[in-house]
Amino acid sequence: MQNCGFGWQNAVLSAALAASAQTDALPVENLRNPSGAASLGWRSPRSAVSLTLTWPQAVPLRAFSLHRTNFSPAASLAVSASAGGVAVWQGQAQGCVNGQILCIAPESVQADTVALEVSDTANTDGWLSMPLAYVGPLWQPVRNYSTQSTAGHALGSDSVTSLGGTEFTEARWYQRTLKIVHQSLGDVEADQIERMLRTAAAGQNTLFIPVPDAPAAQLNEKAVYGKLTGDDLTNPFGVADRHSTNLTLTESL
């Protein structure tokens, strides 16, 4: 079982994006928007669509994911990465959980072109909504996060109580949150945390994967993509090369 992974260097932001289908009001360029709102995302009028990302030169990549989608549980994601026209890695993920689908390479690859192909013929909406995407590397600390970490949620709902005591509730949103506790970061890793938090402070999303080599269903269920904040970095063991910090990740909706 691999240590947790953080994805914070989203290469989607620097790529040239080309989609096989899009609507005029919701083009593929909307994937650069860090909001998870469907009204600000990319929409395809078809049940199968492809997205091609290209860079002037090869970049390191390992995680390929789509978030806040309207995909059905039967959706599939096929990934093909190449450099100089030569394929360097191919992968496929089946199923969508929590509106997201992820494909994780066993190790980082260098690629200047990536093609994502989505198929969801079971989708009853008649169109595919893809507000958020992450394509980029994963950073894994040498030592894993603490078992003191917790997973929670925030609920958005409106409730009205009648004179007779009956409650009428209308659900608005369900937002997952993570409290990621790490008690054994080295000096170099502490610097990495600082860079990651600076990027997050600029409004960009962070991908957290508890177990990068987990089965596809677990990847889709447990991964969280959203806004990251952090507490102070401490030195619980004095002069030893060990640091501790608490991170909070809130799912982007």
Q: What integer is the mean pLDDT of 1-13?
A: 96
For residue 172, what pLDDT is reported? Answer: 76
Q: How confident is the model at residue 175 (pLDDT cuts 50, 70, 90)?
A: very high
- Residues 13-25 as b/e (b if ≥16 CB within 10 A, e otherwise) read eebebebebbeee
For 82-111, write each residue's pLDDT tens digit: 999 999 999 999 999 999 999 999 999 999
Cα–Cα dist 59/80, whole Å: 14
- Look at residue 169 in the predicted model and tell me its pLDDT: 77
Lowest pLDDT segment from 104-113, 194-203, 204-213, 227-236: 227-236
Please give the pLDDT value at position 159: 78
> Rounded CA gap, 238 and 6, in Å?
27
- Rounded alpha-carbon distances, angstroms, from residue 9 to 34, 148, 199, 204: 13, 27, 8, 9
The closest alpha carbon to 247, from 187, 186, 188, 201, belongs to: 201
Residue 157 scores a pLDDT above 80: no
Place of tokens 């447990």: 222
Convert the pLDDT of each residue in 117-140 to its tens digit: 999 999 999 999 999 999 999 999
> Per DSSP, what are the bridge partners of residue 208?
6, 224
* Contacts within 8 Å (CB) and 24+ apart, 163-170: none
Q: Is the pTM of this model over 0.75?
A: yes
Q: How far apart are CA 182 and CA 144, in angstroms?
A: 7
